[in-house]
Amino acid sequence: HDAPFLLYYAGHIETLEKPKIAMVGSRHSTAGGNDNARSFARYFAAKGWAVVSGLAYGIDKAAHDGALAAGVANSTIAVMATGLDIVYPGEHIDLAVRIRDSGLLLSEYGIGVQANTYHFPQRNRIVAGLSQGVLVVEAARRSGSLITAKQALEYSREVFAIPGSIHSPLARGCHQLIREGAKLVEKAADIEEELLAINLPKP
């Protein structure tokens, strides 16, 4: 009922044919969170999955970077909250070009559309809807990533979360999701095994 009317794309449309895992989390991520995002994303890309994220600071960027580092074609999809000709944040122009050249940029917004506050939760529903599962890497209790996880559940997608320190504010969102039924994961293979166990096609 809330599918986009249309999607604009730049890059390799065949990336959509791969099984997809979304990776989301805090824009103000820790070094450890970024390392986890890169490591998990690289694993999935090397195994034939496409990593879906939102081109934002923090975990999004680390996930895209990790997927690209695997060195395989069509490894990552960035769902943008702007028109395809406007990269937000602007510091990620080089990253967007790399994704376009070896993956896919998607947006439901036309050329020239600037970032707007309400675009981000709208973008997140596409991130969730495209993917077989959503991994929340690191998130505060009131993070937008929890909205993405909620949307994933509404779309009958699997939700996974990486636990963290009880002293870290950026672990509390993940711990909340785990209490509410998200699957706790410690390594990427945990997610792959879970998704393949529910009869998803193997990459």
What does the pLDDT look like over 43-75, one tens digit per residue?
999 999 999 999 999 999 999 999 999 999 999
Chain segment 106-131, per-residue pLDDT in tens = 999 999 999 999 999 999 999 999 99
Cα–Cα dist 123/121, whole Å: 5
* Residues across the chain: 203
SS3 136: strand
The half-sphere exposure of 116 on its side-chain side, counting CA atoms within 13 A, is: 8
Cα–Cα dist 193/160, whole Å: 12
CATH topology of domain 8-197: Rossmann fold (3.40.50)
Chain segment 184-203, per-residue pLDDT in tens = 999 999 999 999 887 665 66
Q: What is the pTM of this model?
A: 0.95
Contact yes or no for 113/85 (Cβ under 8 A): no
Q: How much is the CA Rg of the chain, to the nearest whole Å? A: 15
